[in-house]
Chains A and B, each alone.
Chain A
C-alpha cells in the first residue's frame, strides 16, 4: 500500500496564472458561484472552476469530486473546502467555505421570513416546478460533460462504461441506497484500478 508511483503519471499542476489570487478572491468566487446555483451548485462549480477560471482540469475536478462525495457532509461544501485548502491552506479553506455559505444563508433566511406560506400559490409552485426541471437537466449535463475525463482513466473505457452503467441503474432505476452502491461497486472499481495501476507501472518500468 505504500508503493510510490512515478510522478510523471499524475496530472501536472495547473499553470500558475490559473489560480485564485488571494483568499479574498476565493471568497468572492465561491460567493458568486453559490448565488448562481439554484437547485444545487455543482453544475455551476464545474463550469466556473473548470471551464471559465480553469483552476482545475476536468480530471482533477472528477478526482476531487469523488473525495467530496464519499466523505460525509454536503458535497459542494466539502469541495469548496478542498479547493480553498489546496491554494491557501486553512485560511483558504475557511474563506471558500464562508463564500459558499454566507450570502446564500442570508438570502434563504430572508426568503423564509418574507415568503412563509407563499409557496402554496399556484404561480410560485409552478415557477419552482419549472426551475426544478431545469436543475435536473443542469446536473445531468454536468455528468455527461465529465464522461470525457474518463478517456485517460487507468481502468480503460470498457470497465468505466460498465461501472458507470451499473451505478446509474442501481441509483436512478432501482433506488439502491447510496452507501451500498459506493461500498460494492465503488469498492470493486478501486480494487480493479489498484490492479491496473500496478500493471501500468510495471509496463512503464520495463520498456
Chain B
C-alpha cells in the first residue's frame, strides 16, 4: 500500500508512540490494541496484514519482542516512500519510521525506569523498598509461569494439538532440570514444525 505523510503526520507518529510508552506496563505488547486502533483503523498508515505479520515476525526473531514497534515504523515508512515496489528509494523513509517509532516507545519508559531503579537501589535498605521487592517476588514468578502457559495455550485445543503441548512440557522440564543449551531446543522445535510433525 502507498500513503502520503506530511511532516505533521511524522510528528503525530512520534507523539503516538511517546504517549503510549508510559502506559505499557507488562511490555509494549499490552498497548498493541491501541496501536491497531490508531495506525490501522484511524489513520490507515498500516494494513491489517502488515500489523499482524510485524508482531509475528518480531516474536519469532531473536531479541526483545518490542522490536515489533520498529517493524511498524519500518512498514509505515515503506508505505510513505512508495511501497515495496519503490525498492531502495523507500528505505530512507522506512529508516525514519523505525527511528521515530523506537524513540517514541522507549524514551519515556527507559527514562522513568532509569530514575526509579536508581532511586530504589540507593534506598534499598528502606523498609518500604524491601517490602515492595519481597512482596512482588512470588507474583512475578507466577507471572512467568502464566506467560509460558498462555504461549502454550496459543497451541490451541490440547486434545487436537497434543504434540505442541507435549513439546512445551518437555522443553519446560529439560530447561528446569538440565543445563541443555536453549538454542538446541529452539532449533529442534523449528525443525519439528518445519516438517509438520507438531
Give residues in A with beta carbon < 8 Å to B: 1-5, 7, 10, 34-44, 47, 51, 62-78, 81-82, 85-86, 90, 93, 97, 100-101, 103-105, 107-109, 111-112, 115-116, 119, 122-147, 149-150, 153-155, 159-161, 163-168, 171-172, 178-179, 181-182, 185-186, 189-194, 196-198, 201
- The SS class assigned to the A binding surface is helix
Tell me, in angstroms, the Cα distance from A137 to B170 when the chains sit together: 7
CB neighbours (8 Å) of A64 from chain B are 117
Tell me, in angstroms, the Cα distance from A25 to B102 when the chains sit together: 24
Tell me, in angstroms, the Cα distance from A151 to B170 when the chains sit together: 26
CB neighbours (8 Å) of A105 from chain B are 63, 67, 70, 98, 102
Given contacts A38-B61, A66-B133, A72-B23, contact A147 B110 (CB under 8 A): no
CB neighbours (8 Å) of B110 from chain A are 73, 77-78, 81, 97
- The SS class assigned to the B binding surface is helix
Give chain B's interface residue range (CB within 8 Å of chain A).
Answer: 35 or more
By the criterion CB–CB under 8 Å, are B66 and A72 in contact?
Answer: no
Tell me, in angstroms, the Cα distance from A70 to B143 when the chains sit together: 11
By the criterion CB–CB under 8 Å, are A34 and B171 in contact?
Answer: no
- Decide yes or no whether B144 CB sits under 8 A from chain A: yes
CB neighbours (8 Å) of A125 from chain B are 193
Tell me, in angstroms, the Cα distance from A161 to B142 when the chains sit together: 9
